[in-house]
Amino acid sequence: MSREAPTSPAERLAALRDAMREHDIDAWWLPSSDPHNSEYLPEHWAGRAWLSGFDGSVGTLVVTRHAAGVWVDSRYWVQAEEQLAGSGIELMKLHPGQGDAPMQWLAENLESGATLGFDANVVTLASARRLEEALSPAGIRLRGDLDLLDSIWPDRPSLPKAPLYAHDSTYLDESRAERLARVREAMAEHEADWHPISTLDDIAWLTQLRGDDVDFNPVFLAHLLIGRETATLFVAPGKLDDTLRESLAGDGIQVAPYADWASRLAELPETSRVLVDPARLTLGTRQALPDGATLVEAFQPSTLAKGRKSDSDLEHVRHAMEEDGAALCEFFAWLEDALARGETVTELTVDDKLTAARAARPGFVSRSFSTIAAFNANGALPHYHATPEAHATIEGNGLLLIDSGGQYPGGTTDITRVVPVGEIDAAHRDDYTLVLKGTIALSRAHFPRGIPSAQLDAIARAPLWTSGRDYGHGTGHGVGYFLNVHEGPQVIAWHAPVAAHTAMQPGMITSIEPGVYRPGKWGIRIENLVANRPAAESEFGDFLRFETLTLCPIDTRCIEPSLLDASEIDWLDAYHAEVRERLAPKLEGDALAWLEKRTQPLARG
């Protein structure tokens, strides 16, 4: 007898608890994850959003027989509070450095002998170990052999079936075989026979294939098993045409069904030495390996190699930035004119018009994430997303924050700009200028090669800290090369773990995006992408500097010039001069006039 699909979060929560009782499970752990540890999830694995109603990109749902909560950081507090209302699920606020808070909550709220259930296929090996460390002393057992969502989600979306395509060789300066050889060199250093990879951007980078299985990121669902002599790509049947299959075979890559991943791992010799990254492989993958296999644990070598863009890559990125910058000029010229004419413009209109401007540029593939167009109070929500049911009209006075990006075969873009609407006051300008000072401070920094990326965070925050201001998110994330808009291994955030693999290396592309958020009033964030480039060499070692890649005017109408010193104004004027020089040849008419107007030198007080 089929059961009816629960339609509300409260009904879904009740259905989950029924399933928990059927299997004698006292609590259920549901992270925002899939078998590939992805940030953006195919709908099939968006169970936390389906069950709770909270659709932010990050959050952990924990359900017991009598309580439930979603743990999220400050970027999502307002959104989660609104979306969880009436669901029976409580907002649990995460603060920096409290990533294990839901585990601690379970240890305090479950009795000894209780069982915590989860799907081992969507929980990383590292996370499963932390759960064990947190809960085992409290006498709580772990069970990872069930996916309870299957039993309560009858219309659960199927896995995506979009075909794959090759990354245009015009944008590549090394072969697939060369990339595989680099991984095998790392395997040899660890004396490993096999190396399983599940992270989708690493697989796309290694195979030089792209797909459309995940919104905004040109990746595809797959696993990859690399041996000393062979490699096998596990992908759903029908996603590869004969030409791609032959191309892969020419580089020694066999193709097997996606569903065969676990069974194929189980067939590896018992004596195998397997290189694994516990933070990037699931517990389910570990459990599929032979019991006798020796795990060699190390950071996934392809992740660091992928993060270090070559000089050729960076040249393509510069061209992509020019096309993206030209699109932004077209958009902002339209926006100012539309507002001046009194045309109705909403946050949804902003997204539509900006996407259309990008789509008109050569090579544009898609947005790189869901556009954030946030007016006034909505800007105080760092991950705000306008919907047809809830959005603002751009009218009156205030600040409009726009965070957007595009995917091009030659690079991935991510930019945030804030523009004035109507009249703004001294408080707006004060916040804006201090955020700009943070952006400039980090953009100008020189630093030792190999410094842990987290240690650069304070440079951007210092101008804000002097006046008692701060922001709840990190200052910067890595960015892919026609891949994920968020990638590792580097992250600029004071609370991020310091590890050898987070060291700043030449070629890495990172965002710089300090901000200030005043709930109920406005939000300000100024974001550019930068690349690590060689700087001075001396007896003290090698140093790096940032090359600013993003090309778009920073609105000087929001600046209080008296808060900038001469060197900061010089940086801004030089940046605007470069933006004007590189974008002007790609523009004409109103867009060119807008560029000329918005890149004039800042009047000094």
Residue 427 shares a structural domain with residue 556? yes
Q: What pLDDT, on the 0 to 100 scale, is given for residue 82?
A: 85
Domain count, the chain: 3
What CA–CA distances, in Å, run from 27 to 55, 72, 131? 21, 19, 13
Could you tell me if 572 and 520 lie in one domain? yes
The reply to whether 89 and 181 lie within a common domain is no
Residue 160 in domain: no
pLDDT score, position 418 = 98
What tokens were used for 434? 């201090």
Q: Are 265 and 196 in contact (CB under 8 A)?
A: yes
Specify if 537 maps to a domain: yes
| Displacement of CA 594 from its chain's centroid (Å) | 31
What pTM, to 2 d.p., does this model score? Answer: 0.94
302 CB-near residues (< 8 Å, 6+ apart): 179, 182, 183, 197, 202, 205, 206
In a domain, 159, yes or no: no
In a domain, 4, yes or no: no
For residues 333 and 402, membership in a common domain is answered with yes
Residues 405 and 500 in one domain: yes
Q: In which residue ranges of the chain is pLDDT below 70? A: 1-5, 605
Identify the pLDDT of residue 79: 83
The pLDDT value given to residue 388: 92
Same domain assignment for residues 375 and 234: no
- Does one domain contain both 312 and 292? no
Query: How many CB atoms are located within 10 Å of the residue 123 CB?
Result: 23
Range of the domain at 370: 308-598
Q: Give the CATH number, domain containing residue 179.
A: 3.40.350.10
CATH number at residue 532: 3.90.230.10
Give the separation between CA 582 and CA 285, rounded to whole angstroms.
Answer: 48
Q: What is the pLDDT of residue 484?
A: 97
Please state, as a whole number, how many other Cβ atoms lie within 10 Å of the Cβ of residue 578: 13
**Are residues 454 and 576 both part of a single domain?**
yes
Query: Which residues share a beta bridge with 366?
Result: 407
Angle between helices 347-359 and 311-340 in degrees, nearest 10: 130
Q: What is the pLDDT of residues 58-105, one digit of tens each?
A: 899 999 999 999 999 887 888 888 888 889 999 999 887 778 899 999
At residue 3, the pLDDT reads 54
Burial grade of 58 (CB within 10 A; 0-12, 13-18, 19 or more)? middle
72 DSSP β-pair partners = 93
